[in-house]
A and B are shown apart, each in its own frame.
Chain A
Amino acid sequence: MAKTNSRDRMKNEINAGSMADIAFLLLIFFLVTTTIAEDKGVLVKLPPWSEDEPDITKLKKRNVYSVLVNADNQLLVRGDLAQLDDLRENAKNFIMNPQRAEDMAEEPKKAIISLKNDRGTEYGTYLEVYNELKAAYTELRNEYAEKKYGKLYEFCTKEERSEVRSEIPLIISEAEPTNFGDEG
């Protein structure tokens, strides 16, 4: 009697309850091993390669905002020692030139930022500088879009964006690095 009872309960089926455990194990394995690696970064478009050096003598001096970073990670902006914290504001001021100063950009379209670094410059510093310059442009574009369309640049339509872009083009020219510092 007891024997039939136990056979009755088993019903010759494999217990599927443990399947869930196996699947859970796999799930946890995948959860742990995989990384939803969000890759973010500063997007840059490099100029096409050409053998000859670009001719910068044609540019007016007032339109060029030169930023130099030396091997000791110090900044030289238009011939003067500068701090990274002031770079964004100064660059914005230079590009827009609200006071119509004689030695600043004639108009945003003509402004060119020239970035030069040494082979010994730390990459972290270089990217911080680049980031500040890009941020200056982003802020200016946002301000322009806000004034003209009443919304931020990233919320604008495609046509509005290209309009803003043509008004305030992002021109950062990078020269070949100098080779004075010690390359670690």
Chain B
Amino acid sequence: MSKFKKNRGKASPEVSTASLPDIIFMLLFFFMVVTVLRDAELKVEIETPRATELTKLEKKSLVNYIYVGSPVEKYKKEYGTKARIQLGDKFANLSDIPLFLEQHRSKVPEAQHGGIKSSLRIDKGVTMGIVADTKTALRKAGQLLINYSAKKKES
């Protein structure tokens, strides 16, 4: 009887699960590396328009984001319903754009400065006035490559 038990205790028929965490961790690290945490909380409502001539933005580190839209529900009391610009995680004015661009530029290696793109994530309902002003500010700041963020149109 005792002999019988001892045998089974030594050679357990179970597959070792000790390497399972390693596999999962590997997956975890993979996802941690490839995904980018969204750094900015959106304070403006944005529903990007649809278009067909889309270019994919690669090299996330070379892209800065400018959001334009009307404030979301909880900021409506404070900021009204008029379309606003959001840079990073706060509301901004047109005069803040050059500084914002410069801050982003300082994080990019010098050799890649020519490839910096501004992604304009603009709500399709806003009027062109604020968009044109933003564009003028970008041109004055020397940021000429811009990308109007849009979704794919099924046609």
* Nearest residue, chain B, Cβ from A119: B129
Q: B17 at interface (Cβ–Cβ under 8 A)?
A: yes
Asked if residues B127 and A120 are in contact (CB atoms below 8 Å), the reply is yes
Give the B-binding residues of A (Cβ under 8 A). 5, 8-9, 16-17, 19-20, 22-24, 26-27, 30-31, 33-49, 71, 117-124, 126-128, 130-131, 134-135, 138, 176-177, 179, 181, 183-184
Which of A27, A39, A123 interacts with B119 by CB under 8 Å? A39
* Nearest residue, chain A, Cβ from B60: A39
Name the residue in B48, B127, B148 with the highest tally of chain A Cβ atoms < 10 Å from its Cβ.
Answer: B127
Chain B interface main SS type = mixed
Give the A-binding residues of B (Cβ under 8 A). 5, 9, 17-18, 20-21, 24-25, 27-28, 31-32, 34-38, 48-49, 51-57, 60, 63, 82-83, 117, 119-120, 122-132, 135-136, 138-140, 142, 144-152
Distance A184 CA – B130 CA, assembled complex (angstroms): 10
* Nearest residue, chain A, Cβ from B35: A34
Known contacts: A33-B37, A46-B135. The answer to whether A41 contacts B150 by CB under 8 A is: yes
Asked if residues B31 and A31 are in contact (CB atoms below 8 Å), the reply is yes
Known contacts: A41-B119, A49-B136, A176-B132. The answer to whether A123 contacts B125 by CB under 8 A is: yes
Name the residue in A24, A42, A138, A183 with the highest tally of chain B Cβ atoms < 10 Å from its Cβ.
Answer: A42
Which of B27, B82, B139, B149 interacts with A41 by CB under 8 Å? B149
Distance A122 CA – B120 CA, assembled complex (angstroms): 15
Asked if residues A41 and B52 are in contact (CB atoms below 8 Å), the reply is no
Asked if residues B38 and A37 are in contact (CB atoms below 8 Å), the reply is yes
Residues of A contacting B151 in the complex (Cβ-Cβ under 8 angstroms): 40
* Nearest residue, chain B, Cβ from A121: B128
5 contacts between A and B (CB under 8 A): A37-B38, A123-B124, A131-B51, A134-B53, A135-B53
